Structure 1
Amino acid sequence: MDAQSLMQAAIRGRWAVAGIFLANGFLTGSWAPQIPVFLTRLDISKFTLGLLILLFGAGAVTAMTWCGHLISRHGSHTVLRCFGLCGSLGLLVVALAPNVPLAAIAMFIFGGSIGVMDVAMNANAVAVERRLSRAIMSSSHGFWSLGGFAGGALGGFAIQNYGHLPHATVVTVLAFAVVAVAVGYLIVKDKPQVAEHQKFSLPANPLVYLVGLMALLTMISEGAVLDWAALYLHQELGADLAIAGLAYAAFSGVMAVMRFLGDGVRNRFGAVATLRGSALVAAAGMLVAGLSPSPWLAIAAFAFCGFGIANMVPIIFSAGGNQDGMSSGTGMSVVTTMGYSGILVAPSAIGFVAEHSSFGPIFVALSGLLVIVLLMAGLAHRAEFAPEPAPAE
């Protein structure tokens, strides 16, 4: 295959993996408006609902830990072909679950399939970046945010007017169709790198765990805004519920826009410089939010924080997928597992601390975690690009 054909295939692969990100975000976002129906349909308490949602996260993290080994053996395109199509059915399976035991199994499987999709699509995006010799990870995550926004915004209307099952069916059909078309155009770059008989093992390179630590600290901060910003504005800054809800809306809206702009910034200034600047902006925004005397200043500060955090995770994921001595899937598996563990663990830990303190000091402390990422930003040098040599014909 000549260089022009390779580049055309890479461009098609770039939009194909963007479609996978969009479908994954759409499925995840469509789950949120199903939650109230899920609660009443199964006649369960909020505590039981929390446990079922935790099973979704547990399924995702469990799958992420071995997904890298799977990608190393079969390639991210093959894993996406299998788990992307299967994962598209996950929401429908949950919506059909008639009782708590089957719902628990369905939630674990749904979370696991979404988790495998997440690692594999990020690994494939790294392969596209190598082929194109430029960043596409931030805009890929932008498509995920766009899908999540669409799923969340349309889901409530659809469920209220047509019911939860028709909504889940339509979501499944749309996601399945997007994935089915996209997998045919994914680039086939990350060939299997381990023997069939080789057993699963964790990478020996300590740098990938330090990159994972950066993902953990960044995603703890992101999850804290998602789960606690509205309560902080309502309980401690005296905002009504409508205004309090603007905190995460401003944060996520700015973050989505910046993710579509982030690849251009990263291509111009480099991954390390972009990560440092982003971490500085995010830390400043989180600090001002924690010290804010008024809800409107806090909302503006959270938006500023979203401006910074937007491109931190994509750059860190690119660095994780480009580590020496391991496949992109293996590195991505470690980094995504550590990162998403922060979103799972942080909410309960922050809630416990907030019961004995207040949210303001917590957000100030979270700004310190982002400063640590700033100091570690040099580890993201593996996300820089050099032109990839064309394979021999």
Structure 2
Amino acid sequence: MRPRRDFLLSACFLPRTPAPIRARVAICCSFFIQGVAFATWCSRIPDVRDRLALSEAALGTLLLAIPVGQLISMAPNGLLVARFGSRRMLLLAGFLYPAILLFLGLAPNVASLAVGLLLAGFAANLSNTAANTQGVQLEHYYRRSIIALFHGMWSLAGLAAVALAMLLGRFGVPTWAHFGGVALGAWALLSCSGGALLTFDRAPAPAAARRGSAWRLTPFLFWLGVASLGCMACEGAIYDWGGVYFRDVLAVLPAHQSYGYFAYLCTMVTGRFVADRIVNRLGPRRVLYACGGFISGGLALAVCAPLLGGPAAMAAAMVGFALMGCGTSAVVPLCCGLAGKAPGVPPSIAIAQISTIGFFGFLAAPPL
């Protein structure tokens, strides 16, 4: 790693602020752009379906294009970031992701929408790999955990994007105009903050990385990937089946079917903003164990909630979902941070490795 003074950053962004803090804010902005773009698309899926007159089966098949695009691009994106640097790739992804979002809003037919969704998966994964690599580099400077904050910004951006979509939907704003406005805002934020991103990575990519031999999976990275897999399996199940569980199993009113997901999201966002302090005090190992306990306890409580019956069942399930939110809030950020510090492997490749393993949980858990 270069000396601490070697932060070759733009002084135009927050000029009176120390360079490391500017970098921290810039990385937060990059995660915010990711979260806004993804949640903006998700919030208008019904409108896109209606505009293209898609059946439920056709829509379900099309929506697989994003995770497929993410999955097939994980290895190439890790190598791209290792070869060309996280800053360049993050700036590229920060431009492409909003542009693809605008394309999705204008897609005239099913074929173009499918291509756009595949490209969205690629851009999302490239942005995620590069942004996490930047976060790991900055942790080397601070010498303490700060990466959970960045993931918290992603979650906060999702909440903001959903709120904006609800507001614009009430006024009948068309999808293309909504997506175009978000894209312009994202590009403006990127142009202001992009110059403050770190201009170097911890170590240049070795020749092995260019040949692909750096993809040899170490036991340490494998178990981090397994931890990510368990966490992302839980997340995927809650995203896809949380509302169905409340409606069909707990038999709540339609207006209450999102309460569990809301409780989960609130504790996950809050947990990500406080996780760094807890990690710095207790250490990553203890925090990971605690997260596993929260996830297991919350899942058990949610599954057993129907035994209580009535309003008590819904309350117990909400507490269970909230506990799972606490547990899942820190696992993936911690695993990314630890993977990026693995010796002998470029950070971008290590992060891509555990993301690849973890993503199978996100894909496989909801259908199972």
Q: Which residue of 2 aligns with 1:70?
A: 80
Structure 1 residues 281, 197: CA separation in 2 closer, same or farther (over 3 Å shift)? closer
1:192 aligns with 2:211: no
Q: Which residue of 2 aligns with 1:287?
A: 300
1:137 aligns with 2:151: no
TM-aligned CA deviation for residue 343 of structure 1: 1.3
TM-aligned CA deviation for residue 160 of structure 1: 4.2
Q: Which residue of 1 aligns with 2:48?
A: 38
Structure 1 residues 179, 64: CA separation in 2 closer, same or farther (over 3 Å shift)? farther
TM-aligned CA deviation for residue 266 of structure 1: 0.7
Structure 1 residues 340, 181: CA separation in 2 closer, same or farther (over 3 Å shift)? farther
Q: Which residue of 2 aligns with 1:276?
A: 289
Map Cα deviations across residues 70-111 of structure 1 (whole Å, 9 max, x no partner): 111111111101122111211101111101111111110011
Q: Does the Cα contact within 8 Å between 1:255 and 1:310 map onto a contact in 2?
A: yes
What is the total number of aligned residue pairs between the two structures? 349
Structure 1 residues 221, 130: CA separation in 2 closer, same or farther (over 3 Å shift)? same
Q: Where does structure 2 lack aligned partners over 5 or more consecutive residues? A: 8-16, 307-312
SS at match of 1:331: helix
Map Cα deviations across residues 210-245 of structure 1 (whole Å, 9 max, x no partner): 211110111101111111122112111121122221
User: In the alignment, residue 152 of structure 1 is paired with which amino acid?
Assistant: V
Distance in 1, Cα, partners of 2:360 & 2:161: 23
Please give the residue correspondences for 1:3-18 in structure 2 after superposition, counting only pairs within 5 Å. Answer: 3=4, 6=7, 8-18=18-28
Q: Which residue of 1 aligns with 2:93?
A: 83
1:306 aligns with 2:318: no
User: In the alignment, residue 49 of structure 1 is paired with which amino acid?
Assistant: L
Query: Aligned-residue CA RMSD in angstroms?
Result: 1.9
Please give the residue correspondences for 1:299-378 in structure 2 after superposition, counting only pairs within 5 Å. Answer: 299-349=318-368
Distance in 2, Cα, partners of 1:2 & 1:127: 12
TM-aligned CA deviation for residue 196 of structure 1: 9.7
Runs of 4+ in 1 over 4 A off after TM superposition: 1-7
Answer with 34-43 or 61-70: which moved more. Answer: 61-70
SS at match of 1:82: helix
Distance in 2, Cα, partners of 1:308 & 1:339: 16
Distance in 2, Cα, partners of 1:50 & 1:334: 27
Q: Which residue of 2 aligns with 1:96?
A: 106
Q: Does the Cα contact within 8 Å between 2:79 and 2:210 map onto a contact in 1?
A: no
1:239 aligns with 2:252: yes
User: In the alignment, residue 165 of structure 1 is paired with which amino acid?
Assistant: W
Distance in 2, Cα, partners of 1:213 & 1:72: 23
TM-aligned CA deviation for residue 69 of structure 1: 0.9
Answer with 66-75 or 247-256: which moved more. Answer: 66-75
User: In the alignment, residue 93 of structure 2 is paired with which amino acid?
Assistant: F
Q: Which residue of 2 aligns with 1:361?
A: none
Structure 1 residues 4, 127: CA separation in 2 closer, same or farther (over 3 Å shift)? closer
Q: Does the Cα contact within 8 Å between 1:256 and 1:310 map onto a contact in 2?
A: yes
Distance in 2, Cα, partners of 1:76 & 1:10: 16
Map Cα deviations across residues 289-336 of structure 1 (whole Å, 9 max, x no partner): 111131211011111221122111111111121211101100000111
Structure 1 residues 196, 83: CA separation in 2 closer, same or farther (over 3 Å shift)? farther
Match of 1:165 among 157, 176, 183: 176
Distance in 1, Cα, partners of 2:3 & 2:145: 22
TM-aligned CA deviation for residue 274 of structure 1: 1.2
Query: TM-score, normalised on structure 2?
Result: 0.90
Structure 1 residues 196, 270: CA separation in 2 closer, same or farther (over 3 Å shift)? closer
Distance in 1, Cα, partners of 2:83 & 2:206: 6
TM-aligned CA deviation for residue 141 of structure 1: 0.7
SS at match of 1:303: helix
Distance in 2, Cα, partners of 1:261 & 1:156: 28
Q: Does the Cα contact within 8 Å between 1:73 and 1:196 map onto a contact in 2?
A: no
Distance in 2, Cα, partners of 1:281 & 1:105: 39
TM-aligned CA deviation for residue 188 of structure 1: 2.4
Structure 1 residues 197, 290: CA separation in 2 closer, same or farther (over 3 Å shift)? closer
TM-aligned CA deviation for residue 197 of structure 1: 9.5
Distance in 2, Cα, partners of 1:209 & 1:304: 26
Distance in 2, Cα, partners of 1:168 & 1:99: 17
Distance in 1, Cα, partners of 2:72 & 2:241: 26
Q: Does the Cα contact within 8 Å between 1:73 and 1:195 map onto a contact in 2?
A: no
Q: Does the Cα contact within 8 Å between 2:82 and 2:348 map onto a contact in 1?
A: yes
Q: Which residue of 2 aligns with 1:357?
A: none
Answer with 224-233 or 3-12: which moved more. Answer: 3-12
Distance in 2, Cα, partners of 1:208 & 1:5: 29
Map Cα deviations across residues 354-388 of structure 1 (whole Å, 9 max, x no partner): xxxxxxxxxxxxxxxxxxxxxxxxxxxxxxxxxxx
Percentage of identical aligned residues: 29
